[in-house]
Amino acid sequence: MPATPLRAAHEAVGARFTDFGGWEMPLSYEGVVAEHMAVRESVGVFDVTHLGRFRLTGEAATATMKRELCNDIEKIEPGRAQYTMAL
């Protein structure tokens, strides 16, 4: 079962894991109340690295990506990556 690239970080802070759509994902850490209070008093982070990837090819690929992504795809060198949001 695949795990996200952040699995070690989740494990380091005490995550308990479960199968989520075929991925090994953190289910909980300290418990619902403690996690609720942590988010209310500080910050919460949700690992979305398992949600998908896409490959766009063809003549209009760059123009399409410039229109659909938050970051400018032309600033990324070949063979490199950049996290962004798809609109």
Token couple for 34: 């403690």
Rounded to an integer, what distance in angstroms lies between the CA atom of residue 66 and that of residue 68? 6
CA–CA distances in Å: residue 54 to residues 13, 14, 51, 65, 79: 30, 31, 10, 11, 15
Rounded to two decimals, what is the model's pTM?
0.56
The DSSP symbol for 57 reads: -
Token couple for 83: 């996290």
What are the pLDDT tens digits along the chain (87 aa)? Answer: 899 889 999 999 999 999 998 999 999 999 999 999 999 999 888 888 787 777 889 999 999 989 988 988 889 898 888 888 877
Q: Where are the beta strands (DSSP E) in 10-75?
A: 16-20, 23-28
- 72, 66 contact by CB (below 8 A): yes
